[in-house]
């Protein structure tokens, strides 16, 4: 079948969850046996979000092929179980860079280079890249930002042209917000009407409207919206707030979103999506009564999107262990020897978060020492693993001034050091060790037991690394290097085997955990946390 293109735009306000709606639709189409991918076009000038502070756009997600991507790609993978790549996330910066490179090469043959047609053509070319591989029946394109933003205009113009060129092979879904005015006890449709008008002004007629709402929108109100917005009544779908984002695909299916998309793109509607495994997950989620309490020690804890993939991985792992996740954010800057016991004693497990730079690092050492001495299940990820190594060096190896050269370039004991091939790198964008690398785990290690195998492939994003010169001293004192890259011998996993569960991974296992295939090391960590909780209660 010819590739179909679905465009998802958003109106009224940002943060409505275009990523979740796109992912939910993809999840349903995939469950119908169709081949689906989702891509995101971000209207900012950065080449990728790798150089952005998490306060700007939350977590930076990493794809297997080493692209630093928008966090929505994490949702795409978690909902579809299909890996994304660099082609799934394009920014205005990349579009312009490619147009300017072409201009310098002389590709435009003396023409004046303009937003229309040159920038819009470049956007269109990128929209079709994944579709042109022949690997997908549906390519869902999420346009970042909100309709009406100056910077999204070239994208909307590209969508308008593509709609025209692709005919029935293209479809537009517009996501808006229907606010509830408490004083008047009324839902209001006007912002939606205005937002659709704005889309129509740039020449785009949405085929489907998805209305985000905190209250049920009555059928007559949906019919009114359909009438005002030129959309068929059955294609006005409401998306009420639900306790878990993983319930959204079913909410969408209940209102036939998948069928409407098939019909409007000329694909026969046969049978139903096979959501058995997904439903099984939701059932366990809904049935779970007991909770497991995990403390996440990091410096961005006031920002819920900063550790998105870790949160979701923990949630998935808790669900598959039939537990509710009680995630407690612990600000690493506020942790000290005086309050650590009070802050951590209620935790069944502790995660030491990834990160960059010195801020909040001392609190991570305080937490690690306390967890190590109280034998609490502890999981260090990336900088968290590096902190495990440093804390152990200081406290157990007696190297009081051990550090990472990231924090102290002159430390006499650089137990964490800049990787050799990073030493000549000065540019910041896209230059870390990025993407999936092989890791061989030591047979009999806790990590190998967690994975149930000794060869894994996980994703990375770092410049600093365990210093192998110290390896023997660590191992002799009890911290084992149980995972390494077979080609470079970089240490990827450390653990304390005489502890209940004390593992640090240089890689980020949170990027590969999905609803249908939760990451084994998170599953094992939660299992250890539950066991610890039971032991504490004895
Ligand atoms: N800052 C550390 C490094 O670059 C860790 C990075 C991270 O936690 N992602 O190696």
Alpha-carbon torsion angle 435, 437, 442, 448, nearest 10: 50
Confidence of residue 53 (pLDDT cuts 50, 70, 90): confident
Distances from the Cα of 214 to the Cαs of 3, 220, 243, 431, in angstroms?
A: 35, 17, 12, 43
The predicted-structure confidence for 180-228, as pLDDT tens digits, reads as follows 999 999 999 999 999 999 999 999 999 999 999 999 999 999 999 999 9
Question: Would strands 378-381 and 349-352 be described as parallel, antiparallel, or unpaired?
Answer: parallel
User: What does the pLDDT read at residue 13?
Assistant: 86
- Residue whose CA lies nearest to ligand 1 atom number 1: 356
- If one residue of 49, 61, 356, 511 were mutated to test the ligand 1 pocket, choosing by the most ligand atoms within 8 A of its CB, it would be 356
pTM as predicted: 0.95
- How far is the C-alpha of 25 from the C-alpha of 289, rounded, in Å? 29
The predicted-structure confidence for 279-294, as pLDDT tens digits, reads as follows 999 999 999 999 999 9
Please state, rounded to an integer, the average pLDDT across all residues of the chain.
96
Question: How many C-beta atoms lie closer than 10 Å to residue 104's C-beta?
Answer: 9
385 CA distance to ligand 1 middle (Å) = 9
Q: Is the pLDDT of residue 274 over 90?
A: yes
Three-state DSSP class for 277?
Answer: helix
484 CA distance to ligand 1 middle (Å) = 17
The predicted-structure confidence for 391-424, as pLDDT tens digits, reads as follows 999 999 999 999 999 999 999 999 999 988 888 8
User: What does the pLDDT read at residue 311?
Assistant: 97
Residue 411: exposed, middle, or buried by beta-carbon count in 10 A (0-12, 13-18, 19+)? middle
Backbone angles phi, psi at 276, to 5 degrees: -55, -50
Q: Is the pLDDT of residue 70 over 90?
A: yes
The predicted-structure confidence for 141-187, as pLDDT tens digits, reads as follows 999 999 999 999 999 999 999 999 999 999 999 999 999 999 999 99
User: What does the pLDDT read at residue 411?
Assistant: 97
Ligand 1 site: residues with CB under 6 angstroms?
A: 354-356, 382-383, 406, 461-464
User: What does the pLDDT read at residue 425?
Assistant: 86
- Residue whose CA lies nearest to ligand 1 atom number 5: 383
- If one residue of 299, 425, 461 were mutated to test the ligand 1 pocket, choosing by the most ligand atoms within 8 A of its CB, it would be 461
Q: Is the pLDDT of residue 54 over 90?
A: no
User: What does the pLDDT read at residue 239?
Assistant: 96
Alpha helix (H) residue ranges in 265-328: 276-287, 308-320
Beta strands in 11-152 (DSSP E): 36-42, 61-62, 68-69, 89-91, 138-143
User: What does the pLDDT read at residue 426?
Assistant: 86
The two tokens of residue 55 are 């306060």
382 CA distance to ligand 1 middle (Å) = 6
Catalytic residues: 382, 508, 510
Alpha-carbon torsion angle 518, 519, 521, 524, nearest 10: 10
- How far is the C-alpha of 297 from the C-alpha of 367, rounded, in Å? 8
Whose CA is closest to 490, among 507, 475, 474, 502?
A: 507
Q: Are 180 and 186 in contact (CB under 8 A)?
A: yes
236 CA distance to ligand 1 middle (Å) = 45
Q: Is the pLDDT of residue 447 over 90?
A: yes
Chain centroid offset of residue 247 CA: 18
Partners of 327 in the β-ladder = 294
- Residue whose CA lies nearest to ligand 1 atom number 6: 462
- Residue whose CA lies nearest to ligand 1 atom number 3: 462
């Amino acid at each position: 079948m010819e590739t179909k293109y679905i465009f998802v735009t958003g109106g009224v306000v940002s943060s409505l969850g275009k990523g979740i709606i796109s992912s939910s639709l993809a999840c349903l189409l995939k469950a119908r046996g169709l081949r689906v991918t989702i891509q995101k076009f971000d209207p900012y000038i950065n080449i990728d979000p790798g150089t952005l502070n998490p306060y700007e756009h939350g977590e930076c997600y990493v794809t297997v092929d080493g692209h630093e991507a928008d966090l929505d790609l994490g949702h795409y993978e978690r909902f579809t179980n299909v890996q994304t790549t660099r082609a799934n996330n394009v920014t205005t910066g990349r579009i312009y860079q490619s147009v300017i490179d072409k201009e310098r090469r002389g590709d435009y043959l003396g023409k004046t280079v303009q937003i229309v047609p040159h920038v819009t053509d470049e956007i269109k070319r990128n929209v079709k890249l994944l579709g042109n591989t022949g690997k997908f029946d549906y390519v869902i394109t999420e346009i970042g930002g909100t309709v009406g933003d100056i910077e999204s205009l070239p994208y909307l113009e590209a969508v308008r042209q593509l709609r025209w060129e692709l005919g029935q092979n293209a479809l537009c879904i517009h996501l808006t917000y229907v606010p509830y005015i408490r004083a008047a006890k009324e839902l209001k449709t006007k912002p939606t009407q205005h937002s659709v008008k704005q889309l129509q002004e740039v020449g785009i007629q949405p085929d489907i409207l998805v209305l985000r709402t905190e209250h049920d929108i009555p059928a007559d109100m949906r019919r009114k919206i359909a009438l005002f917005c030129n959309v068929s009544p059955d294609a006005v779908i409401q998306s009420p707030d639900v306790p878990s984002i993983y319930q959204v695909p079913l909410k969408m299916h209940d209102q036939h979103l998948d069928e409407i998309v098939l019909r409007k793109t000329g694909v026969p509607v046969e049978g139903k999506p096979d959501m058995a495994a997904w439903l099984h997950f939701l059932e366990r989620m809904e049935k779970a009564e007991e909770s497991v309490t995990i403390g996440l020690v990091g410096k961005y804890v006031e920002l819920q999107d900063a550790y998105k993939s870790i949160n979701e991985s923990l949630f998935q792992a808790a669900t598959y262990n039939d537990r509710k996740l009680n995630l407690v954010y612990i600000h690493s800057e506020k942790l000290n020897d005086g309050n650590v016991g009070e802050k951590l004693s209620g935790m069944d497990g502790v995660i030491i978060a990834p990160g960059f730079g010195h801020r909040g690092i001392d609190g991570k050492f305080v937490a690690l020492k306390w967890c190590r001495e109280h034998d609490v299940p502890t999981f260090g990820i990336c900088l968290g693993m590096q902190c495990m190594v440093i804390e152990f060096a200081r406290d157990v190896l007696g190297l009081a001034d051990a550090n990472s050269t990231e924090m102290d370039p002159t430390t006499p004991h650089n137990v964490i050091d800049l990787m050799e091939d990073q030493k000549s790198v000065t540019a910041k964008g896209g230059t870390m060790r990025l993407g999936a690398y092989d890791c061989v785990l030591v047979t009999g290690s806790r990590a190998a037991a967690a994975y149930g195998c000794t060869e894994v492939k996980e994703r990375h994003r770092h410049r600093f690394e365990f210093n192998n010169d110290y390896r023997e001293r660590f191992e002799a004192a009890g911290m084992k290097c149980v995972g390494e890259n077979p080609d470079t011998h970089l240490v990827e996993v450390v653990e304390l085997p005489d502890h209940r569960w004390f593992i640090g991974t240089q890689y980020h296992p949170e990027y590969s955990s999905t609803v249908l295939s939760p990451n084994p090391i998170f599953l094992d960590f939660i299992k250890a946390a539950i066991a610890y909780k039971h032991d504490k209660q004895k």
